[in-house]
Amino acid sequence: MEIVVFGAGSIGSLLGALLARVPDHDVTLVGRGPHVSAIRRRGLRVEGIESFTVEPQATTDGTDLAADLVLVTVKAYDTEAAARELRTGEFDAVCSLQNGMGNEETLAGYLDCPVLGGTTSYGAVRTDSGEVVWNGAGEIAVGPWAPRGDDETAATVGAAMTAGGLEVDVVDGAGIRRRLWEKLAVNAAINPTTALARVENGALGDEPGTDLVEPIAREVGATARAEGVTLSDEALVDAVGEVVTATAENESSMYADVQAARRTEIDVINGYVVERAREHGIDVPTNRTLWTLLRAWEAERGLRAIDA
């Protein structure tokens, strides 16, 4: 299968490397200049859980590409720009493996091919150009977004990922929506709280951390149910707790963004909850407070417009 990984950051580089080990897969990574140049010179090196080097194709130009599958792994605020580049090419399917919500709708609005939603719990860190550390085994869930009933495409994509040694759970349209909302609850609870408090994930496993993350998860649950997605508050609170325990020594991606003075994905995580809750007349004060605090931090550092 011809596969394009659009967004050769940490998780994109790891997934691209794993898929590039399959003889029948032809993988192209779309990334930034220094990383792409290093991959072209000496290949992509993976360390950590396994150590190996692969030699995928790599480019900084995402236009006029053609492939059976595109995996989109850019930051959520770059999704629209990615979609504009991708619409110049020809693809049989595109799958978002990004944080937050709304990415699938954006891709479907630009691309004339099936769009799949996906989640991943694999862990990776880009340590240098041409290098990535695989620091967490996990699972990928993938399912049809648009058309919602396109189970055949989801199964084909799942099989291609499984061939690369990835743990993949192929679900239906309702299932991927539940998975995405569950991941949203986890991200909404862990990312902004650790970023603002400057703590590792494990700090949220006991009081006073649990006093904050539990109401966040419950607010997400109320919003999800209003959107027609059946998820209980208890299930979401438990999901947050499981991830906090499993990643206790990790720093969240949003904490890393704050440390590096980068724009965060707060808009498509807590901001998404706030906007959807408003449409249904639901009050989500904890999510709104976190969204406001991170936007204020970004605005003060010139990372976003004041009124954005």
Check the CA dihedral 42-43-46-51 and report its sign. negative
Give the integer Cα–Cα distance in Å for 18 and 263.
28
Q: How many C-beta atoms surround the C-beta of residue 128 within 10 A? A: 11
Give the integer Cα–Cα distance in Å for 134 and 302.
32
Q: Classify residue 64 as left (phi > 0), alpha (psi -120 to 50) or beta.
A: left
Residue with tokens 């790599």: 58
Structure tokens at 279: 């449409």
Give the integer Cα–Cα distance in Å for 40 and 57.
7
Task: Decide if 75 is catalytic.
Answer: no
Please give the helix or strand (H or E) that residue 219 lies within, else none: helix 209-226
Catalytic residue among 177, 183, 295, 304: 183
Give the integer Cα–Cα distance in Å for 26 and 114.
20
Give the integer Cα–Cα distance in Å for 74 and 3.
15
Residue with tokens 């890393």: 256
The values of phi and psi at residue 140, to 5°, are -115, 135
Q: Classify residue 103 as left (phi > 0), alpha (psi -120 to 50) or beta.
A: alpha
Q: Are 142 and 171 within 8 A, CB to CB?
A: yes
Residues in the chain: 308
Structure tokens at 106: 């954006």
Q: How many C-beta atoms surround the C-beta of residue 146 within 10 A? A: 18
Q: Are 27 and 19 within 8 A, CB to CB?
A: yes
Query: Looking at the annotation, which residues are catalytic?
Result: 183
